[in-house]
Chain A
Amino acid sequence: MALKHVNAVIVGAGAGGGVVAKELSAAGLSVALLERGRWYSAADCRKDDLCNQRTQVLGAKFGPDDERNPRVAVDGKGRETVVVASDGAYSNNAACVGGGTFSYGAMAWRYMEKDFRMRSTYGAVAGSTLEDWPIDYFDLEPYYEKAEWEMGVSGDVSNNIFKAPRRKPLPMPPLPPNREYRILSPAAKRLGLHPFDIPMLRNTVPYNGRRSCMRCRWCVGFACEVNARNGTHNTVIPEALATGNCELRTDCMTREILLDARGRATGVAYFDANGRLQEQTADLAIVCGGAVESARLLLNTKHRLFPNGLGNRYDWVGRNLQSHTYPAAIGLFEQEVYDDLGPGAGIAICDYNHGNPGLAGGAMLANEFIRLPYQFLSAVPAGVPQWGPEHKNFVRNAYRRTISIMGPVQEMPVFDARVQADPKVKDYWGIPVARLSGGKHPHTLEIAGFAAAKAEAWLKEAGAIRTWKRLPGASLSGGQHQAGTCRMGNDPKTSVVNKDCQLHEVDNVYVIDASVHVTNGGFNPALTILANAYRASGNLLKAWKGSKARS
């Protein structure tokens, strides 16, 4: 039986897709929201430190499953491997209702003005496709505010003298400082830096009918047991459903966008929870699958007019895959600094995001989320033997006495860091899988080295008796902060969507997720994805002239 025609079919119920579903359904459009993963609840928090969304040695708890969703990873030497979601090279984010926002750490950053004008600020960088966004900070500002107030953000950025202008403060106060915060804050001030409370999509007081954070040990990567962390799964998606205009279908894997003879979209084809192929017709097809899967879906949509994939006439789909390069410094202290108060991260500085001599950008620096014992092992410095009595002794002595500071370096986009549809390997449903190749730009690694040194200096000032750095390698950047694969721009020859997130090639197909980011800021990206989704939905609704379908 044919499915009822809808105004908009949205692929992916993550950060971008959740917001679009709510904005469109609230405006009266009929919406089908397709999500390949399941809908987990707060009760699915099993505090499993080996199987969650951050530590995936026993699987990616919130999807996708290892069995049905392979990818191909090509390393720096051109070697191809078939990888599963729990492998590092897979570049996983998540697959569930809420997407990454279901289990994220919930840092809720606004990018800075210069983050939208990287090319004008720093000029061309050889070997990079560094470019300005076609919109600026002020185009997004009202929507940052909307995301902060509708979804709920806590924190206090008033001491951040580098922040971009904003009209309203955050709706909720920050959590009381933990022990790390109390050590790091005066040290930063002594160094002339400007520490402040990280904005977080986390309730610190009851908000939106849900309670506040209880400061547990299992935050980032886990479900929030008390539903105090705000993702699209407990904010905009339930609101979309409450309008009566939006139907959410889980366990539904979209295969391709359906196109008519003239190349306009008529809907999507997807496999439902029972593995049956379904066709959902729609006036608009809105792709919100995250940077890897959105690019894959466009590339897997083939048509006489689009032989190399939809939106890909100039070979920009899947290009410029970027994320964040994370350098870190770790400090060992004489006294105990661990106080078992989640979420752990709380203090940040933006002193090194821009204006660093000789560098095109920089990174925000913050203390790390609470570390579970197994996660802590990656903080053991190189000089300590990897096993045996000394290793054990080090872990025992250092676990409660270390602070880690890290930051998301804004990456220099690389044209050859890319997603393709693999010519051979197919997933469980027979759909060509994503093939990932390329690596980081050398300047990104230079900035990472700089940021790690600044983090180390901060720890030293805070009284660390020993410090060491953790520097990232040159391999491809993707994963949780993946972005950039369907660049937004004014020129159809060097971008995939226009500034309204509409494909240059087909006016009723949109991409609204991290894929459209031209550059990814020196900050975690979720709030920008959410804000841009509010903005793009608003522009879409302004242009909406009603259904063209004959009923």
Chain B
Amino acid sequence: MPNQKPSLKRRTFLSAGLAAAAGGAAISCGGGGTGEGWRFFTAEEARTVDAICERIIPADRDPGAHAAGVVNYIDIQLAKRFKKHQAAYRKGVAGVDAVSRARFGKRFAELPPDQQTQALTEVGAKSGAFFNLVLNHAMQGFYGDPRHGGNRNMASWRMLGLPLPPVRGRQHYDDPKAG
């Protein structure tokens, strides 16, 4: 369905990015920002990266990377810790869209899931380093702490059945003798 209502999806998506940007007010805007709420990505790049992450961790009975805001994690980190990866993303994301256009005539985010998977497999074979970078970052954004901008609503932790909210310890519940 994402490709049936692209405009709506885009809007919710951008507002999600903006909300998170407001939440992280201490973080300055990255140089490549477009003023649309992203720190590093252009809106188009963000859409592509969001779609890539969703293929890496797709929604099923539990939320996937899109719902967990994984692209937001990557965008925030590219403006901070991952500055050294900025060039790789700029080039790599363009490369993914180029592969998609060449193979299927559309940008990556506009392809149906099975074609996205095919395009990504091709990217993985052609530019493995970039693919692995996004793969690692997507996993961090999905399974890591929500404080870094991903794992919205602790989506992955709920999926794994980790007691929520994180309790301080266990012994003071289980063992009344504990000092």
Residues of A participating in the B interface, judged by any CB pair closer than 8 Å: 47-50, 57-59, 176, 205-206, 211-217, 225-226, 340-342, 373-374, 376-377, 386-389, 391-393, 395-396, 399-400
A47 touches B57 (CB 8 A): no
Contact A389 B60 (CB under 8 A): yes
On chain B, the residues within 8 Å of A396 by CB distance are 62, 159-160
Give, as a whole number of angstroms, the nearest-CB distance from B116 to chain A: 11
B55: CB under 8 A from chain A? yes
The answer to whether B145 touches A50 (Cβ under 8 A) is: yes
Q: Which are the 10 A-B pairs with shortest beta-carbon distances?
A: A214-B169, A387-B56, A373-B143, A216-B169, A374-B143, A206-B179, A50-B144, A215-B170, A215-B171, A399-B160
Whether A374 contacts B139 in the complex (CB less than 8 A), given A389-B58, A392-B58, comes out as yes
Tell me which of A58, A373, A389 contacts B156 (CB under 8 A): A373
Complex: chain A residue closest to B138, CB-CB: A387
Residue of B nearest to A228 (CB): B179
B107 at the A interface (CB under 8 A): no
List, in ascending order, chain A residues with CB within 8 A of B171's CB: 212-215
**Which residue on chain B has the smallest CB distance to residue A207?**
B179
Contact call B58/A373, Cβ cutoff below 8 A = no
Q: Which residues of B contact A216 (CB under 8 A)?
A: 168-170
Q: In this complex, what residue of B is CB-closest to A210?
A: B179
Q: Tell me whether B19 is interfacial, beta carbon within 8 Å.
A: no
Inside 8 A of B179's CB, which chain A residues have their CB? 205-206, 211-212
Contact (A377, B58) CB under 8 Å given A214-B170, A340-B170, A400-B161: no
User: A49 touches which one: B57, B144, B169 (CB < 8 A)?
Assistant: B144
Residues of B near any A CB (own CB < 8 A): 55-58, 60, 62, 64, 77, 81, 117, 135-136, 138-140, 143-145, 147-148, 156-157, 159-163, 166, 168-172, 174-175, 178-179
Chain B, Cβ-Cβ closest to A226:
B169
Question: Which of B57, B60, B170 counts the most A-chain CB atoms under 10 A from its CB?
Answer: B170
Q: A212-B179, A213-B169, A392-B60 are in contact. List 20 more A-B contacts (CB 8 A).
A: A49-B145, A50-B144, A57-B136, A57-B140, A57-B144, A205-B179, A212-B171, A214-B171, A214-B178, A215-B171, A341-B170, A373-B143, A374-B140, A387-B138, A388-B55, A388-B117, A389-B58, A392-B58, A395-B160, A400-B160
CB proximity of A514 to chain B, nearest CB, Å: 29
Contact with A50, one of B140, B160, B163 (Cβ below 8 angstroms): B140
Separation in Å of the A61 CB from the closest CB of chain B?
Answer: 12
Within the complex, the shortest CB–CB distance from A75 to chain B, in Å, comes to 15
Q: Are A214 and B117 in contact (CB under 8 A)?
A: no
Q: Is the pair A387, B55 in contact by a Cβ cutoff of 8 Å?
A: yes
Q: State the CA gap A392–B170 with chains docked (Å).
A: 28
Q: Enumerate 18 A-B pairs (CB-CB under 8 Å) in ascending A order.
A: A48-B147, A57-B140, A211-B179, A214-B170, A216-B169, A216-B170, A225-B168, A225-B169, A340-B170, A373-B160, A388-B58, A388-B117, A389-B58, A392-B58, A392-B64, A399-B160, A399-B161, A400-B161
Q: Which residues of B contact A215 (CB under 8 A)?
A: 169-171, 174
Q: A216-B170, A387-B55, A387-B57 are in contact. Are A58 and B160 (CB under 8 A)?
A: no
* Minimum CB distance partner of B57 in chain A: A392
| Contact call A58/B161, Cβ cutoff below 8 A | no
A342 touches B139 (CB 8 A): no
Closest A residue by C-beta to B148? A50
A340 touches B140 (CB 8 A): no
B144:A340 contact, CB within 8 angstroms: no
A307 vs B60: C-alpha distance when bound (angstroms):
65
B134 to chain A, nearest CB (A): 9
**List of B residues within 8 angstroms of A212 by Cβ:** 171, 178-179
CB distance from B76 to the nearest CB of A (A): 10
